[in-house]
Structure 1
Amino acid sequence: MESSSLSLSLVIAVSILCFSSFAHAQQPYIGQDTRVCSKTNDSSSPALGYTCNGLNKTCQTYLIYRSNPPYDTVPSIARLLASDPSQLSAINSVAPNATFPTNKMVIVPVNCSCSGQYYQVNASYTIKRGDNYYLIVNSTYEGLTTCRAIKVQNDIETVDLYSGDLTIPIRCACPTKNQTNLGIKYLLSYVVAEGNYVSTISSRFGANVARTLEANGLSEQFSTIYPFTTLLVPVRNPPLSNQTIVSPPSPRQLTPPPPQSPSPPASSSTSVLRNKWAYAIAGSLVGAACALAIGSGIIFCMPFRRRNVQHTASIVPNDRETHVKPIVEVDEESQGLMQTIYGIAQSIKVYSFEELLLATNNFSPSYWIKGSVHRGEIDGCSVAIKKVNGDAIKEINLFKKINHFNIVRLSGICFNEGDWYFVYDFASHGPLSDWIYSTLGDSKTVLSWTQRVQIALDVATGLNYLHGFTNPPHIHKNITSGNVLLDSDFRAKITNLGMARSAEGEAGRFALTSHIVGTRGYMAPEYLENGLVSMALDVYAFGVLAMEMITGKEAESLTREESSNLFDALDEMLPEDSMTERLADLIDPSLGGRYPSDQAAFMFGIIRCCLKKNTADRPDMDEIVQYLSGLLASAINWESSNNVI
């Protein structure tokens, strides 16, 4: 008996030692901790960085960054991520001043070192006007840092960011002794994108799936990963440029592969391949379960037509999350709706209707903004809550692809009794239309010349993003002064994407429709007359919007009955041979003459190009962005030199 007890004790002791060593090799995956921004006394949160538990206190390692203007060249990415530009160009097999295609995976070599109890790369970032934590973390650094880490690193207590420089702690790690003994030399910091799985990421860089799970404290049962989080990929060799080449995804590639029939292992490669399928499927199942937990509030308020519904759930406690396995029998329509909401919950927060009632004081009239939009307060932050008509799913799927400063962010959704509700970031200064149709003597603050140029550039930049940087490209189709919102700094955010349509391929870029919808005064002549839909539609609407901003008048009031279109009306009012002399008759009188006439003439030149009847003669949005960027720089210099307030 004593011998048996002793043997058992030895087994337990050895197991504990092995487990301790194994656990010591892990870095906890950050998961939902990215949402936490407030500074707390919890000094062990994975949001603060990877624990400094490696064999070495400093090491060479690599980041994966997806190029996105203005960070799409070797020098700009190297500066942003504190990398050596010569090493960056060499490992990516490009020239020292090369520009990467948008969304191209770029290998970034960095020196990772311990700073206190965490590994990190210290980069420097200069705060720009309109910056906030969300933009810096998710848009600029793409999840390679976190809000909490920035606050702790810079000892910031405030909610808002002001001017100055920030030290950005970039997430990296060095291999532990156990990993080194297994031949692992580098822990690659990979930013997870939508549709990624641990298995596919590991396969791309030649890593062992089991080792990747271990390195991140994950398991086959709990392998869900989220966009804008980092996953450590343990590799034996530096990553290669050909490992970052991505083929255009097909619809099948965006979903987990189907399970294969079990068969005896013929070789180690066959076994690894089968394990990859298994991990992908496990990730999908766990993801659905997590989405159910997140969206449980809306499930209780959804009007299902139940037929012999039975509910059973097993709840398994875990140090990271609660795993719920539902068994619900519902009709096909309800089941499809549930699956849709589960998919949405992977990337957009799902609110219960009770939360929206609490946020708006039961949709009180005192919280009403306009139409079906109410202001609300959620977690101490102001939001705009809108009851949505039309194809909400289509609009949600578009918002899931969008992450841009000049397009209003959809922060959450709710489904209740057949109705969808969207929760947006709040734009405190409301729609642009409230500011540009002003008259002399109006008590409201008058937008300055520079502010108007900045707003025009913001709208153009947002449209350029939709046209050139979403996949596939999209046409907004309803750009109006009411669908442009102004935040607290009078920066513009495009909203109302309900009419947006895909412009994929040549057929999408120039398509015909018999269903003419839009806002009177903003619709291009080719659309009104022939139902022709193209990106030039947005360019025309932008020209109308810019004209309204400069004149302070609605477009329709500028069009004479005898004029066939707005271009002809503008040509009559401002003929090119005497444009400068006649500007004063058309510029918004509320400016009180506080504008540079040469810049105003240049702006009208841009507007004239946007309003041309022939779509081929209109500039693309990227050209307009370039024109307005130069104009804004001139406007700022003029404002400074003339002490214009």
Structure 2
Amino acid sequence: MDSGTGDSSISAHQCVRFSLADIQSATNNFDDVLIIGHGGFGKVYKGCFHTDETSLVVAVKRLDPMSNHGAREFRAEIEMLSKLRHRHLVSLIGFCDDNKEMILVYEYIPLGTLYEHLHLAYTPLSWVERVKIAIGAARGLDYLHTGTLHGVIHRDVKSSNILIDENWAARISDFGLSKIGPTNQSISYVDASVKGTFGYLDPEYFYTRRITRKTDVYAFGVVLFELLSGRLAVDERNADDQYSLVRWAQKSVKERKLGQMVDSNIKGTIFPKCLKRFAEIAARCVHSDPEERPTMTEVVASLQALLELQEKSNRSTESSGITGFTWKINNYFVPTTKPNSGMYTHFSLVT
């Protein structure tokens, strides 16, 4: 492998240029047994680089030559992630462009995507876990928007692009559609073609082609409603008035029917004031007028305050000894340890 500096060691703070032979060795020549994710971009493999002293487990994203995600997205992701380092972002270790290949090598995130934990896992996330994941993802986005010189707009925020690490912390992934943002948050720029994922797309962006940081805020609001309800962003199985998660959630908030929005797996565990505040934060994020949406800095602060209120309520309840019938039932029937099964090891990206 060639780091471009003569140093062949793998560093978390440099973007390594790997040879195709390096990648083939790490993935046992792209062995299908090692596939941990796939989509329109191609396949992702679990790989391992061995040195004399240690070994490093990685996720290897190999772009299919027939994919719509071409050289532009490939270069964009390298450019973005080689400059961005934050504990709530997935780190890019390196890339390979030998022999017309387009391969990206990331740190391996062991517990899969938020999408999988919400929609495919047998053991559901608790309410507090969901709030903590929301805070982590919000911090990652806030760093993208404000922690760099010009700011970065992700453009494809969704639950399948939020990974869960070994500490159950959120990590934002997939920067192939990201753009360097305007220096002023109020300034927008026009994008000739709409990119993103249906269900998370900001209607304002869809109709005007104008993109700002508030485009990401909208998509994050969809994720918040997803966390609260356990529903898909778009679900064709539902009736027409519940087909879109955002429309159904907005209607529920407007009619003050917050109870019907709560995932059955966490009913009875949310302090009522926290439920109200969480729904309000999510509703503000998906406001039709981008100017009315909060910044990610404001979202982080609001969610952190909400978490503290929930944890204070939990401590008060536990110390009083009055735990409530619902709490007892939930803790009796729902296991608190989460199996580290194969379903948690998928590395899903843009499809």
Alignment of 1:123-162 (within 5 A): none
Question: Could you say which residue in structure 2 is the equivalent of 1:482?
Answer: 160
User: Per-residue CA shift, 1:298-327, capped at 9, x if unaligned?
Assistant: xxxxxxxxxxxxxxxxxxxxxxxxxxxxxx
Question: Could you say which residue in structure 1 is the equivalent of 2:103?
Answer: 421
User: Per-residue CA shift, 1:569-622, capped at 9, x if unaligned?
Assistant: 32322325xx3xx33322111224322222122110101101110110101111
Q: 1:519 aligns with which of 193, 197, 206?
A: 197
- Tell whether 2:44 aligns with 1:373: yes
Q: 1:557 aligns with which of 221, 224, 235?
A: 235
Larger radius of gyration: 1
Question: Could you say which residue in structure 2 is the equivalent of 1:348?
Answer: 15
Q: 1:385 aligns with which of 28, 52, 60?
A: 60
- Give, as a single letter, the amino acid of the residue that structure 1 aligns with 2:4: A
1:567–1:613 Cα contact (<8 Å) kept:
no
Cα distance in 2, alignment partners of residues 378 and 641 from structure 1: 49
Report sequence identity in percent.
Answer: 28
- Secondary structure at 2:93's aligned position in 1? strand
1:546–1:607 Cα contact (<8 Å) kept:
yes
Q: 1:366 to 1:568 in 2, by over 3 A?
A: closer
Question: Could you say which residue in structure 1 is the equivalent of 2:251?
Answer: 572
User: Per-residue CA shift, 1:279-305, capped at 9, x if unaligned?
Assistant: xxxxxxxxxx9826457xxxxxxxxxx
1:383–1:425 Cα contact (<8 Å) kept:
yes
Structure with more relative contact order (C-alpha pairs < 8 Å, separation 6 or more)? 2
Task: Count how many residue pairs are aligned between Structure 1 and Structure 2.
Answer: 302
User: Per-residue CA shift, 1:175-208, capped at 9, x if unaligned?
Assistant: xxxxxxxxxxxxxxxxxxxxxxxxxxxxxxxxxx
- Tell whether 2:103 aligns with 1:436: no
User: Per-residue CA shift, 1:415-441, capped at 9, x if unaligned?
Assistant: 221122111111111111101125xxx
- Tell whether 2:276 aligns with 1:601: yes
Question: Could you say which residue in structure 2 is the equivalent of 1:394?
Answer: 76
- Give, as a single letter, the amino acid of the residue that structure 2 aligns with 1:374: Y
Q: 1:350 to 1:571 in 2, by over 3 A?
A: closer
- Give, as a single letter, the amino acid of the residue that structure 2 aligns with 1:569: W
1:567–1:612 Cα contact (<8 Å) kept:
no
- Tell whether 2:160 aligns with 1:491: no
1:385–1:421 Cα contact (<8 Å) kept:
yes
Cα distance in 2, alignment partners of residues 595 and 449 from structure 1: 7
1:373–1:386 Cα contact (<8 Å) kept:
yes
Question: Could you say which residue in structure 1 is the equivalent of 2:93?
Answer: 411
1:450–1:639 Cα contact (<8 Å) kept:
no
Q: 1:611 to 1:367 in 2, by over 3 A?
A: same
Q: 1:571 to 1:395 in 2, by over 3 A?
A: closer
Question: Could you say which residue in structure 1 is the equivalent of 2:126?
Answer: 448
Give the TM-score taking structure 1 as reference length: 0.44
Structure 1 gap ranges (5+): 1-288, 296-344
Question: Could you say which residue in structure 1 is the equivalent of 2:265?
Answer: 590
2:14–2:93 Cα contact (<8 Å) kept:
no
Cα distance in 1, alignment partners of residues 305 and 128 from structure 2: 12
2:284–2:294 Cα contact (<8 Å) kept:
yes
- Secondary structure at 1:479's aligned position in 2? coil
User: Per-residue CA shift, 1:444-503, capped at 9, x if unaligned?
Assistant: 321111110011111111111011011221100000111110011211100000101111
- Tell whether 2:138 aligns with 1:470: no
Give the TM-score taking structure 2 as reference length: 0.78
Superposition RMSD on alpha carbons, in Å? 2.9
Cα distance in 1, alignment partners of residues 3 and 168 from structure 2: 38
2:222–2:246 Cα contact (<8 Å) kept:
no
User: Per-residue CA shift, 1:544-574, capped at 9, x if unaligned?
Assistant: 0110111001122398646998655323223
1:539–1:610 Cα contact (<8 Å) kept:
yes
The alpha-carbon deviation at position 642 of structure 1 amounts to: 4.4
User: Per-residue CA shift, 1:368-420, capped at 9, x if unaligned?
Assistant: 01111111122323211112443222221211221100010011222221122
Question: Could you say which residue in structure 2 is the equivalent of 1:614?
Answer: 289
- Give, as a single letter, the amino acid of the residue that structure 2 aligns with 1:449: W
- Secondary structure at 2:4's aligned position in 1? helix
Q: 1:393 to 1:489 in 2, by over 3 A?
A: same
